[in-house]
Structure 1
Amino acid sequence: MRVYSLKYLNMKEDTMLNILKALGDSHRQNILTLLASQEMGACEIIHAIGLSQPAISHHLKILKQAGLIDSKKEGKNVFYTLNKDGLKEFLNQMNQFLDKLSCFSCSTPKPSLLRQNPNLCKELGYEPEVCETDILERNNR
């Protein structure tokens, strides 16, 4: 029995998740901050951030996979820049998501289906204690 459905944003769920994961690391945030003002080579980023070459390479790979940076090889050197189009698309999608949340916070939420059907937990295949116990309190013990 499927009672709920989730409607995702236009951006693929994996893309949004990859970007949020990429932004969840302070070193990657620092790299993005550096690249926001100028292109940089790997040696410049290593020097500015103070991490090893393998660590910076790992962070750059994650940022590139998330679509937040671009790289361009010129001769023997590779230059990294902020991917402004990827960042703009992410910001647009995030703004749409936040607009939806703020819209929900202004209106009265629909009541839970559990209020209308006290047997819902059992019908969904869960033990009654799942609906009767505050999961947040149980997990903090």
Structure 2
Amino acid sequence: MVILSIAVLVVLGALCGAAFIPKVANHFGYALPGEKGLPYQVKYNGRDYRSHMTCAGAQWCEDEKTPEQRTRPYCTPRAGLGLEKGNGGTGMVKVDDVFTMFGPSHPVFTVGALPQGGTVTGVVVEASKDCYLTYDLVGGP
């Protein structure tokens, strides 16, 4: 009985540890705690959205960045998102959250109001105070 209990604890410990592996966080679309913990893909309204600027700290995405992407800052301040262009001045609308393992969730925004049943081509995720990442729709509308 003691051996079975130890085995169960080892398996549970391994599963909990696996939750902090960037590959797992990226696959399931949740964030890891700490700076640059957002996954490369998030889900909203049944669709997948991707960012080439983050991958929950996984080295593979850093290695795959183009030289141009490497020179870009990790995130953009709200003033740099260009919200005044083409959205009627409605700004960002919070529509969802990205779950964070042992940390606060990250709000997901659309730019402007989303029409009923519509699909947006991009979402904005708040990484930290005045630090935003844009995610683009994967596939077609």
TM-score (normalised: structure 2): 0.21
Higher Rg = 1
Q: Which has the higher helix share?
A: 1
TM-score, structure 1 normalization: 0.21
Greater strand share, structure number: 2
